Amino acid sequence: MSSVGDMTEHTGLTEVSLDDVELAHSDSDKHDHHLCLIPYKNIYIKPTSFKSHHRLVWIPSVPINATITETIRHPTRDLLNPNVYFITLEHGGFTWKVRRRYKHFQSLHSNLVLRAVNDAINNVLHHHVKESGVTKGKMPPFPKVPDRMISPNKMEERMKSLEEFLHGMLQIEYYRNQPEISAFLEVSRLSFVDKLGSKMKEGMLKKRSQSRTAKMCINSASMPGQWQERWFLVKDTYITYVRPEDSSICQVQLMDQSFTAEYGRQAGFGDALRVRNYSRETLAHCWTKRKAKEWCDDIKLSMETTGRDFIAPTRFGSFAPVRSEAWCKWFVDGAGYFDMMATAISEAKEEIFITDWWLSPQVYLRRPVTNENDHCRLDLLLKKKAEEGVKIFVLLYKEVEMALGINSAYSKISLVQQHTKNIRVLRHPDHVPGRATFLWAHHEKLVIIDQSITFVGGLDICYARWDDHNHRLTDLGFGPKFASDAVKSALGGMGLPGVMKAIVGVADDPQSLPDGTGNGSNLESIEVIQGAPATSASSTQEASLTKDAGDGAADTKTNEPPSKTSQWRSKIKTKTALLSKKHKRNRSLDAGLFPVFESMKPPTIPFKVEVDGRKLWIGKDYANFIFQDFGNNDQPFSDQLDRYSTPRMPWHDIGSCVFGSPARDLARHFIQRWNHAKIEKAKYAEDYPLLLPKSYNSFEIDEKWKKGAFKCQAQALRSVSYWSIGIDHTEDSIHQAYLKAIRESKYFVYIENQFFISQVDSTVLYNGIAQAIYDRIRQAHLAGENFRVYVNMPLLPGFEGEVGAPTGYAIQAIIHWQYTSICRGEKSIIERLNADGIPAQKYISFHGMRTHDDLNGRLVSELIYIHSKMLIVDDSLAIIGSANINERSMLGSRDSETAVIYEDTEFEPCVYDGVDAQRGKFVGSLRMLIFKELLGLIDDPNGDQLVSDPLSDEFFKNLWIKTSSVNTDVFEQVFKCIPTDSARNFEQLAEYKEGIANRMAVSDPETAIKLLKNVSGYLVFLPLHFLADVDLRPPAMTKEGLVPDQLWT
């Protein structure tokens, strides 16, 4: 008797109806219009039972060719059916083979006859009309003589008769769509889907899943309730199985470096098949040992061919291999990054994957915000794509609410309500003792389009991240350059006081200033017209202080008597203070879509303005999180700060975009994370499907994406472990890549990172970044070589609070670990170098970024928050991602992270310290733009030449160090900035703070403006002596002191 339960008992494969199928052309055969596939997006159409009569597993209107190519006789294994027939099938460009005995053909024939009779009876009894006009046709003849009666010399004739029977059945639509045929030929709804790869082994097996540590039971086949029938599929880089009752995908088991397939006794018992990877172990019962061997052989064939990239060992222990000839782009600051992201999202056809530490649905991807680009708000952009049928999957970090105010629950609700069918959001992990973690976070930042374009870097899609190289401190609605820059260009360069004069109708007579008492012009009739007559630059008290990088601060003198100037200036300040007070009461109304200067008046007053531009930062997006952390995120358009008195904190970050295979590798990572979270949190939620990786068959990159891109060698990296992605293995490939890149550097290393927590020869901190830097500098010193290490990081950690006060304990905790890594204690890199007789200042320098601006007639300054996670080596290698230089990001077992290592393959000649060398086009151009921004050379025609050689003394001492020194001194004199080397303890800090109120910016603004003309760019020194004489660790009984050190490191 037949034992092919996979062929006869559970049949009727799920598929969409013919009306739902829009045929897709294979990318690999773009010019062959006859090669059509089932569209990839059809995998998301709700499937039906294997026994359903409404299904379509075949590509419509595409023939199926079946040929019996050979037969092998095994009489000892089955006396009644000694011959095994090898059937080769072709359909829509797919070719596959199945093995069948005569009893399988016989069972197929019997079942089809029975089904035809049942359908005929049902039609008569229920007067059914033939569905879709499909006629049965005459069943082809079936050879009824059993195999045991066929002599060897008649085998050719037997093969031909069985082939003709099968061919005849496949020509009749009624029969070929029957579930029995689908099972016989091993096809399902996933067999011929575009972008899912080759057609490989499929069939029904009984499975039992168990964890890595579960003990195998030799007699487990006899244990009741342990086994379930599932339809298994082998694909290019994974295996999966579906539930026959509804055709839902139950599990996706990716091929990785621990992936193995075993059968027979090695798997536990005779007809067993066991498949293992880092995530799980699947045990299947294959009916016979021969079938178990067939399955094992086919899985191993996939492992050796299409799956070999993920099976073989890789550099750095990464889950993904090195990809050559990858197209890549870099982005300095968020403006360009988010702009291209908006374009890519708008062109998505099938899927969008997003994972962020924090996501703000109402954030705008393009600025300034106008009615024309309002659709580029993230939630509205995703809504539009969802309405077009694109499936959107979002993974968010589920925060500990008492510790963080990012409100991921609100983010989820805001996104899902845009389209309840096509937008799916999972938050992970659940903070349940014993199940997950309270200390670690999902810190990745990825946006993936159609598994072909991936944005990766340090930028979450959330408030405060959008910025450009101008790093503005103010946003009162003055247009594209804003504050005094826009004023200068639009109104003749008269500066902010001159603009206020134009706004309120101030004439040469200061008495005409409207003051609310009825004197002067009526505020309701105020208009500002672009190009209107304005006083000259020489008639104003001060010039604009907002600057583009490289412009410096303009200073113009006035011919107006000081006493007269101070009169109208004082009244302007009074008026703006009144407006600011009114603005506070009405800021919830500020949706950021009003004309220029709109927020400077009560919203009820008509106010016509024709100066071009809108706000850049709307509502919560205008942020300074050291001054005040985020809250009330469910009120996105309500200002959190008074933008008339508090400058924003600029944001400096690095992003990248990669196309093709590396993008698909990062999509594979996302899929692995999504599937882990789905199984853990929403296993039985049908609306949250398991995701499938696309094949790596050749696919073309649209020429428009190559514009401005570079061709590189790229490799995806990550930090993951069991809690974050469900693998019993810790991957720290980002850490390993950093170490190797630093150790093998030849000329210089440039680090731009949010943190620097790493020590030399440490027994407390285990990441090896500082050790690698120390070893490389020591090597250069012993060899007498010139070598540089540049480190650029925030001047203060990004926590709300005041250093030296109880609110600043979190800031101080981070400062403690950073300074003990950099310059304090025998494990710090600078003290260790100096102790070994190596002059640290010759080889390594630490810096931050700061800028200044004019806010309502006041000089203001703020640090620029460096959030980048980037390493550059020798202008030929860059690592860009989400990983900080600390234990959390680097060890792999803590925060989850992603990154890409880019290595140039195209070079141009250059000179490093007088020696001819080669500079990579991708990495070199990135590093040079960053240096020009830092040094104020963006608009300098000689900027490229000035920053081309970061190794030479001329650049390092006379440009880099000199610029940083001048900038630091000027900011110290004008603003008395914190942090500062002038305060080595809390007493000195308190005394220093007392002098801030009378700083030069307040007491002598004219002199301050002259000094600020000397500032170039944003580069300043990190104050290495700040609070050097005190213990910065939080007091033991505070909440910051009670948490383990691992939280801060």
Q: What is the pLDDT of residues 728-785, one digit of tens each?
A: 999 999 999 999 999 999 999 999 999 999 999 999 999 999 999 999 999 999 999 9
Mean pLDDT rounded to a whole number for the chain: 82
pLDDT score, position 509: 30
- Torsion, Cα 709 712 715 719, to 10 degrees, reads -60
| DSSP element (H, E) containing 748 | strand 748-753
Query: Which of 118-127, 210-219, 785-794, 1035-1044 has the highest mean predicted lDDT (pLDDT)?
Result: 785-794
> What angle, 0 to 180 degrees and rounded to 10, lies between the N-to-C axes of helices 334-346 and 378-387?
20
Residue 19 CB partners (closer than 8 Å, separation 6+): none
Q: Say if strands 710-720 and 731-732 run parallel, antiparallel, or are unpaired.
A: antiparallel
- pLDDT(650) > 60: yes
Q: Report the largest interatomic distance among the alpha carbons of the chain, rounded to a whole angstrom.
A: 121
Lowest mean pLDDT among 99-113, 341-355, 611-625, 1007-1021: 611-625
Q: Phi/psi at 354 (nearest 5 deg)?
A: -135, 130
- pLDDT(33) > 80: no
Query: Which of 105-114, 192-201, 682-691, 828-837 has the highest mean predicted lDDT (pLDDT)?
Result: 828-837
DSSP 331: E
SS3 for 105-133 is HHHHHHHHHHHHHHHHHHHHHHCCCCHHH
Q: Which among 884, 870, 883, 971 has a CA at the least distance from the CA of 929? A: 870
- Residue 75 tokens, joined: 């009489």
Percent pLDDT > 70 in the chain is 80
Report the distance separating Cα 549 and Cα 544, nearest Å: 14
- Residue 56 tokens, joined: 């379509």
pLDDT per position as a tens digit, 130-167: 444 445 668 888 888 888 888 888 888 989 999 999 99
pTM of the shown model: 0.84
Q: How many CB atoms lie within 10 A of CB 278?
A: 21
> What angle, 0 to 180 degrees and rounded to 10, lies between the N-to-C axes of helices 378-387 and 408-416?
40
Report the distance separating Cα 963 and Cα 935, nearest Å: 7
- pLDDT(829) > 70: yes
- pLDDT(516) > 60: no
Residue 714's DSSP bridge partners are 323, 902
pLDDT score, position 481: 37
Confirm if 849 and 462 have CB atoms less than 8 A apart.
no
Residue 90 CB partners (closer than 8 Å, separation 6+): 64, 65
| DSSP element (H, E) containing 710 | strand 710-720
DSSP 468: -
CA terminus-to-terminus distance, the chain: 66
Q: How confident is the model at residue 478 (pLDDT cuts 50, 70, 90)?
A: low
Confirm if 904 and 924 have CB atoms less than 8 A apart.
yes
Residues, the chain, total? 1049
Confirm if 31 and 40 have CB atoms less than 8 A apart.
no
Report the distance separating Cα 402 and Cα 413, nearest Å: 20
Report the distance separating Cα 208 and Cα 223, nearest Å: 11
Residue 121 CB partners (closer than 8 Å, separation 6+): none
- At 445, is the secondary structure helix, strand, or coil? coil
Q: Which among 918, 923, 887, 931 has a CA at the least distance from the CA of 904? A: 923
| Mean local confidence (pLDDT), 338-359 | 97
- Residue 321 tokens, joined: 């291999």
Residue 942 CB partners (closer than 8 Å, separation 6+): none
In this predicted model, which residue has the larger pLDDT, 49 or 480? 49
Q: % helix / strand / coil in the chain, to the nearest 5?
A: 35, 20, 45
Q: How many CB atoms lie within 10 A of CB 18?
A: 12
pLDDT score, position 146: 86
SS3 for 1030-1044 is CCCCCCCCCHHHHCC
| Mean local confidence (pLDDT), 255-263 | 95
- Ramachandran area for residue 843 (φ above 0: left; ψ -120 to 50: alpha; else beta): alpha
Q: Which among 88, 115, 222 has a CA at the least distance from the CA of 179? A: 115
In this predicted model, which residue has the larger pLDDT, 3 or 458? 458
DSSP 734: H
Report the distance separating Cα 355 and Cα 691, nearest Å: 15
Percent pLDDT > 90 in the chain is 60
Residue that is written with structure tokens 């293992």 in the block: 276
Residue that is written with structure tokens 């030849």 in the block: 746
Q: Write the DSSP string, 14-68.
A: ----GGG---EE-GGGTT-TT-EEB-GGGGGSPP--TT-SS---SPTT--EEEEE
Q: How confident is the model at residue 541 (pLDDT cuts 50, 70, 90)?
A: very low
Q: How confident is the model at residue 401 (pLDDT cuts 50, 70, 90)?
A: confident
- pLDDT(11) > 90: no
Report the distance separating Cα 947 and Cα 924, nearest Å: 10
Lowest mean pLDDT among 15-24, 297-306, 1026-1035: 15-24
Buried b / exposed e across 687-699, counting CB within 10 Å, b at 16+?
ebbbbbbbbbeeb
H-helix segments, 631-709: 661-681, 703-706
DSSP 193: B
| Mean local confidence (pLDDT), 783-788 | 96
pLDDT score, position 176: 84
- Torsion, Cα 499 501 503 504, to 10 degrees, reads 160
Q: How confident is the model at residue 1036 (pLDDT cuts 50, 70, 90)?
A: confident
Confirm if 616 and 482 have CB atoms less than 8 A apart.
yes
Rg (CA), the chain: 34
| Mean local confidence (pLDDT), 695-716 | 92
pLDDT score, position 527: 26
Report the distance separating Cα 894 and Cα 883, nearest Å: 11
pLDDT per position as a tens digit, 263-297: 988 888 888 899 999 999 999 999 888 899 999 99
Residue 595 CB partners (closer than 8 Å, separation 6+): 477, 607, 608, 609, 610, 611, 614
Q: How confident is the model at residue 35 (pLDDT cuts 50, 70, 90)?
A: low
pLDDT score, position 631: 82
Q: Which among 58, 80, 351 has a CA at the least distance from the CA of 195? A: 351
Spacing of C-alpha 461 from chain mean position: 9
pLDDT score, position 603: 28
pLDDT per position as a tens digit, 558-602: 333 444 334 433 443 443 343 333 333 332 222 222 222 223 232
Report the distance separating Cα 472 and Cα 862, nearest Å: 10
pLDDT score, position 517: 31
Q: Phi/psi at 705 (nearest 5 deg)?
A: -75, -20
Number of H helices, E strands in the chain: 30, 35
**Torsional sign, CA 187, 190, 193, 199:** negative
Q: Is 162 exposed, middle or buried (0-12, 13-18, 19+ CB in 10 A)?
A: buried
Report the distance separating Cα 345 and Cα 329, nearest Å: 16
| DSSP element (H, E) containing 240 | strand 238-242
pLDDT per position as a tens digit, 230-250: 999 999 999 999 998 888 899
pLDDT per position as a tens digit, 870-916: 999 999 999 999 999 999 999 999 999 999 999 999 999 999 999 99
- Torsion, Cα 969 854 559 570, to 10 degrees, reads -120
Q: How many CB atoms lie within 10 A of CB 1043?
A: 16
Residue 607 CB partners (closer than 8 Å, separation 6+): 526, 595, 597, 598, 601
Q: Say if strands 654-659 and 323-332 run parallel, antiparallel, or are unpaired.
A: antiparallel
Residue 446's DSSP bridge partners are 355, 456
pLDDT per position as a tens digit, 410-442: 999 999 999 999 999 999 998 877 665 888 999
pLDDT score, position 623: 93
Q: Is 506 exposed, middle or buried (0-12, 13-18, 19+ CB in 10 A)?
A: buried
Q: Write the DSSP string, 871-894.
A: EEETTTEEEEES--BSHHHHSSSS
Buried b / exposed e across 91-108, counting CB within 10 Å, b at 16+?
bbbbebebebbbbbbbbb
| Mean local confidence (pLDDT), 802-818 | 92
- Residue 748 tokens, joined: 């210089």
